[in-house]
């Protein structure tokens, strides 16, 4: 009631927000409270340095002073998403939309476009940002967010174009260099990425995120020791910089240092209280345990993932992953049940389509496999989910492989390699093995070992290749390598039985 009385007496003031390091006139920010505006400014500065917890407190305080402060709710939503809390991001966005009727058209468009990003509808989000830039061609925030959204949709040339314009117009805006660095490294242009990240670190020498970003680039290149050093630098600056904490665990995992990964993730879980972060790290632990054949342990962690999931999208993924683990255990009815549950609560669950396809493949139901692949393609086209193209090609490749259409399978896996070389390398090696092109399969296995000497299934495949070549000593050595990595794997898995029988 107090707020209503204030509004009934006073017109809503529109204050100008002077963004840090901004060089030209800036958009106006709608709020009835000068004090709330100052807190908002502080929150924006903190969020741009990825101090998410502190930024969230500033934005919350701003909305307490002005409960209709739409842009504070907007940035609160963005910061919750950055921190991994999708539920709170969507709740804050609802508040922003609730009060957006009293904002400027520019603010209203920011809010609407961000809603499309949270819905994973990058195409519509980009259209909205383009509308903003027609009227505000040098708007710093719009240039930044459209560049980031192009990157998320994997349209890297457009991302680079927007971000280059951003840093040309605002050369002291540090987040622009960070975002452009990510666009370059995802394009595999590592020299340009390094240049951007070095510039970013020079501008923010006492912040952990520049080192975290550099670590991400090294990890993408497979230079895991360099990545680990960068993440540790970030944690020296701020031991509570949880992005680097988690990334350190992920790097140990990618390098095949599974014990170190598990230790790091468990330490993370011991200190983190945020529900969404706990969910994410439990999902990381699922992947580690799958890599070492501990499927029952993976099921324990996926149950925690499901219980910690607070949105239909995240819960859908957890249920689907549970179904995938049952698929790996060859429990196909249980797998299909969980995958169907996943689609029921989130009909556009593309991950469920892929894993349902694998279940149908084991049942030799090829028509249904193709049907699932078609649905994946439709979702990729509808939402611009280019990151799932490799999964689409893998499903088609596995269907061809199962029918002994080796050349067709190889074609699909090679198409997938264009999108995601790592995830498609093993199935491509398998296809070459089954076709009898052993050297090509061996070369692909050895590519794994350049980065991860403990890729268990690559060792198992290599052992089978040597068996076919009647190189018994080499085969036995590789079977033993596999068994050493899977030394605590669940009993009764066919891969485990194959290796044990081979060395008897």
Give dist(CA 231, CA 63) in Å, integer: 34
pLDDT band of 177, cuts 50, 70, 90: very high
Angle between helices 34-48 and 52-65 (to 10 degrees): 170
The answer to whether position 76 is within a domain reads yes
pLDDT beyond 60 at 298: yes
Residue 11 is classified by DSSP as P
The pLDDT score that the predictor gives to residue 221 is: 87
Taking the C-alpha atoms of residue 259 and residue 288, their distance in angstroms, rounded to an integer, is 9
The two most distant CA atoms of the chain are separated, in Å, by 90
Average pLDDT over residues 382-409: 94
CA nearest to 231, candidates 221, 241, 222: 241
Burial class from Cβ neighbours inside 10 Å (0-12, 13-18, 19+) for residue 499 reads buried
pLDDT band for 26, please (50, 70, 90 cuts): low
Judge contact between 312 and 90, C-beta under 8 A.
no
Task: For residue 367, tell me if it sits in a domain.
Answer: no
- Please, are residues 392 and 373 in contact by the beta-carbon 8 Å criterion? yes
Alpha-carbon separation of residue 186 from 46, 77, 234 (angstroms): 26, 26, 21
Give residue 383's pLDDT: 86
Last residue of a domain, one of 206, 241, 268: 206
Of all helices (H) and strands (E), which one includes residue 28? strand 28-30
Place 334 in a pLDDT band, splitting at 50, 70 and 90: very high
Q: Where in the sequence is the domain holding 84, given as residue range(s)?
A: 2-206
Q: In angstroms, rounded to a whole number, what is the distance separating the alpha carbons of residues 181 and 196?
A: 5
The CA–CA distances, whole Å, from 250 to 216, 247, 391 equal: 10, 5, 21
Q: Which of 186, 206, 226 is the C-terminal boundary of a domain?
A: 206
**Residue 19: pLDDT over 50:** no
Residue 322 lies inside a defined structural domain of this protein: no
Count of alpha carbons within 13 angstroms of residue 78, beta-carbon side: 23
How many angstroms separate the CA atoms of 269 and 491, rounded?
A: 28
**Residue 313 backbone dihedrals phi, psi, to 5 degrees:** -60, -50
Instruction: Classify residue 293: in a domain, yes or no.
Output: no
Question: With 80 as the cut, is the pLDDT of residue 11 above it?
Answer: no
Q: Is 14 helix (H, G, I), strand (E, B) or coil?
A: strand
Residue 150 within any structural domain of the chain: yes
322 φ/ψ angles, rounded to the nearest 5 degrees:
-60, -45
Residues 188 and 418 sit within 8 Å (Cβ to Cβ): no
- Looking at the domain assignment, is residue 57 inside a domain? yes
Q: How confident is the model at residue 461 (pLDDT cuts 50, 70, 90)?
A: very high
What pLDDT shows up at residue 22? 37
Q: How high is the pLDDT of residue 394?
A: 98
- For 342-360, write each residue's pLDDT tens digit: 999 999 999 999 999 999 9
What single-letter DSSP state applies at residue 491?
A: T
When divided into structural domains, the chain yields a total of 2
Q: Look at residue 29 in the predicted model and tell me its pLDDT.
A: 94
Average pLDDT over residues 356-369: 98
- Using one digit for the tens of pLDDT, what is the confidence trace for 131-176? 999 999 999 999 999 999 999 998 999 999 999 999 999 999 999 9
- Pick the most confident of 49-53, 100-104, 303-307: 303-307
C-alpha span between 203 and 210 (Å, rounded): 9
Across the range 460-473, mean pLDDT stands at 97
402 found inside a domain = no
The pLDDT of 65-78, averaged and rounded, is: 97
Compute the mean pLDDT over every residue in the chain, rounded to the nearest whole number. Answer: 92
- Please give the residue that has the higher pLDDT: either 23 or 33: 33
Residue 246's pLDDT is what? 95
Which has the closest alpha carbon to 349: 154, 90, 83, 120?
120
pLDDT band at 28 (very low <50, low <70, confident <90, very high): confident
Strand partners, 15: 29
Which pTM was predicted?
A: 0.81
**CATH, residue 498:** 1.25.40.10
Residue 356 lies in a domain: no
Q: Residue 7 above 50 pLDDT?
A: no
Token representation of residue 159 = 């991302």
Quick check: 80 and 240 in contact, CB under 8 A?
no
| pLDDT at residue 386, as a whole number | 81
Last-in-domain residue among 160, 189, 206: 206
Which residue in 27, 180, 187 sits closest to 108, CA to CA? 27
Q: At residue 24, does pLDDT exceed 60?
A: no
Q: What is the DSSP letter of 368?
A: H
Angle between helices 389-402 and 406-419 (to 10 degrees): 170
């Amino acid at each position: 009631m107090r707020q209503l009385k204030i509004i009934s007496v006073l017109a809503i003031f529109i204050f100008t927000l002077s963004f840090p390091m901004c060089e030209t006139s800036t958009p106006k920010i709608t709020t009835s409270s000068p004090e709330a505006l100052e807190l908002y400014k502080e929150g924006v500065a903190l969020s741009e340095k990825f101090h998410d917890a502190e930024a969230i407190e500033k934005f919350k305080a701003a909305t307490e002073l002005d409960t209709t402060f739409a842009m504070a709710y907007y940035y609160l939503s963005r910061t919750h998403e950055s921190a991994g809390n999708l539920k709170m991001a969507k709740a804050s966005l609802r508040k922003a939309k609730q009060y957006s009727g009293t904002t400027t058209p520019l603010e209203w468009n920011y809010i609407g476009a961000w809603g499309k990003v949270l819905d994973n509808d990058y195409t519509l989000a980009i259209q909205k940002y383009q509308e903003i830039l027609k009227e505000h061609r040098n708007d710093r925030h719009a240039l930044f967010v459209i560049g980031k959204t192009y990157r998320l949709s994997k349209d890297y040339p457009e991302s680079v174009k927007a971000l280059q314009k951003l840093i040309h117009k605002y050369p002291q805006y540090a987040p622009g260099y960070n975002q452009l660095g990510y666009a370059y490294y995802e394009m595999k242009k590592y020299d340009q990425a390094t240049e951007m990240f070095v510039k970013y670190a020079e501008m923010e020498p006492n912040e952990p995120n520049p080192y975290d970003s550099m670590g991400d680039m090294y990890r993408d290149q497979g230079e895991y020791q360099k990545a680990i050093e960068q993440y540790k630098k970030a944690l020296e600056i701020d031991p509570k910089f949880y992005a680097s904490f988690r990334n350190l665990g992920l790097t140990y995992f990618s390098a095949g240092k599974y014990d170190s990964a598990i230790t790091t993730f468990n330490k993370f879980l011991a200190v983190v209280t945020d529900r969404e972060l706990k969910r994410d790290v439990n999902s990381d632990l699922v992947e580690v345990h799958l890599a070492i054949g501990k499927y029952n342990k993976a099921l324990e962690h996926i149950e925690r993932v499901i219980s910690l999931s607070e949105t239909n999208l995240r819960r859908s993924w957890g249920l689907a992953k549970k179904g995938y683990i049952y698929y790996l255990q060859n429990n196909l009815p249980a797998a299909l049940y969980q995958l169907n549950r996943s689609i029921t609560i989130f009909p556009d669950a593309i991950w469920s389509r892929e894993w349902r396809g694998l279940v149908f493949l084991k049942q030799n139901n090829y028509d249904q496999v193709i049907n699932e692949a078609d649905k994946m393609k439709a979702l990729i086209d509808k939402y611009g989910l280019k990151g799932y193209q490799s999964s689409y090609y893998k499903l088609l490749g596995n269907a061809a492989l199962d029918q002994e259409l080796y050349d067709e399978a190889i074609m699909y896996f090679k198409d997938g390699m264009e999108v995601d070389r790592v995830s498609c390398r093993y199935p491509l090696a398998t296809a070459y093995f089954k076709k009898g092109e052993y050297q090509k399969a061996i070369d692909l296995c050895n590519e794994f070992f350049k980065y991860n000497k403990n890729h268990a299934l690559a060792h198992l495949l290599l052992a089978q290749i040597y068996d076919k070549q009647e190189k018994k000593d080499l085969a036995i050595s590789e079977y033993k390598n596999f068994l050493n990595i899977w030394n605590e794997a669940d009993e009764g898995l066919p891969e485990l039985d194959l290796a044990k029988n081979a060395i008897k």
